[in-house]
Chain A
């Protein structure tokens, strides 16, 4: 699926980057923690690190993500450049004005207590 804003190679790249800690955070997520965090994201379908790592490496290649040493070990975090691209302007916008519905993901209905990121 293409990135709706036309900024990243795909929607999955946007979402992987969007799950990383921001540059000002003093923590990051290990690959295993990211898989766990993203398994609950209905817009992606990662079930193991082998599926996720290629996206992280590509985001690093693009300058949007980086590996940093944190208390948890080697973790992934956004770069300032990646943060700016993620939160910046959309490239693609339709010309005709219309309302836009935000769809909260269905599985958000389920795990308020059952799941907590580690």
Chain B
């Protein structure tokens, strides 16, 4: 599944470029969420299905955690990515099998707006498969 802007983000971007909205949805930090189902664009931070293992929390990604966006030049996409390893809090009980992810604007599980979503390879997080990490450059966001 390709990563996709949520409906929330799409409408705000469209209204932003036409000036209908001048307050932006662009916030910092954003929070990486681990999901056990694959989100779709209609989801929110309250309706995505997140990991439930003990110790799970959304991972804060401040502006410093991202590379500045770079232009791809003529005919190529512009992109950005995370610039360091992202490490989630350790699993101390239970387990979850992650197949999706989302970026949200709230630190609180079950709250906020979803900004982006996508899928990932199936990964079990448990007391013996912890902590969960995402490599530097693992989140690469490209606009075509």
* A residues with CB within 8 A of B: 3-5, 7, 11, 14-15, 18-19, 21-22, 24, 27, 37-38, 40-43, 78, 83, 86-87, 89-90, 92-105, 107-117
A40 touches B2 (CB 8 A): yes
Query: Given A90-B95, A98-B128, A112-B144, are A15 and B36 also a contact pair (CB < 8 Å)?
Result: no
Chain A residues with CB under 8 A of B3: 104, 108-109, 111-112
A109 touches B142 (CB 8 A): yes
A108 touches B2 (CB 8 A): yes
Whether a CB of chain A sits under 8 angstroms from the CB of B114 is no
Nearest chain A residue, comparing its CB with the CB of B120: A104
How far is A92 from B129 in the complex, measured between Cα atoms in Å?
A: 11
How far is A21 from B97 in the complex, measured between Cα atoms in Å?
A: 17
Question: Which chain B residues (84-118) contact chain A, with CB distance < 8 Å?
Answer: 94-101, 116, 118
In the complex, how many angstroms separate the beta carbon of A19 from the nearest chain B beta carbon? Answer: 5
Whether a CB of chain A sits under 8 angstroms from the CB of B130 is yes
* Pick from B79, B120, B127: contact of A109, CB under 8 Å: B79
Per DSSP, are chain B's interface residues mostly helix, strand or loop, or mixed? strand
B94 touches A103 (CB 8 A): no
Query: Given A43-B122, A86-B36, A98-B128, are A112 and B101 also a contact pair (CB < 8 Å)?
Result: no
How far is A99 from B90 in the complex, measured between Cα atoms in Å?
A: 9
Per DSSP, are chain A's interface residues mostly helix, strand or loop, or mixed? loop
B122 touches A11 (CB 8 A): yes
How far is A43 from B140 in the complex, measured between Cα atoms in Å?
A: 18
B123 touches A102 (CB 8 A): yes
Beyond contacts A14-B97, A115-B4: 6 other A-B pairs, Cβ-Cβ < 8 A, are: A41-B1, A42-B119, A102-B133, A109-B3, A110-B2, A111-B2
Nearest chain B residue, comparing its CB with the CB of A96: B128
How far is A86 from B99 in the complex, measured between Cα atoms in Å?
A: 10
Query: Given A99-B130, A110-B142, are A104 and B4 also a contact pair (CB < 8 Å)?
Result: no
How far is A116 from B3 in the complex, measured between Cα atoms in Å?
A: 10
A-B contact pairs, 5 of them (CB 8 A): A89-B94, A96-B128, A99-B133, A100-B132, A108-B118
B49 touches A87 (CB 8 A): yes
Whether a CB of chain A sits under 8 angstroms from the CB of B65 is no
A38 touches B1 (CB 8 A): yes
Chain A residues with CB under 8 A of B77: 110
Query: Given A114-B144, A116-B41, are A18 and B36 also a contact pair (CB < 8 Å)?
Result: yes
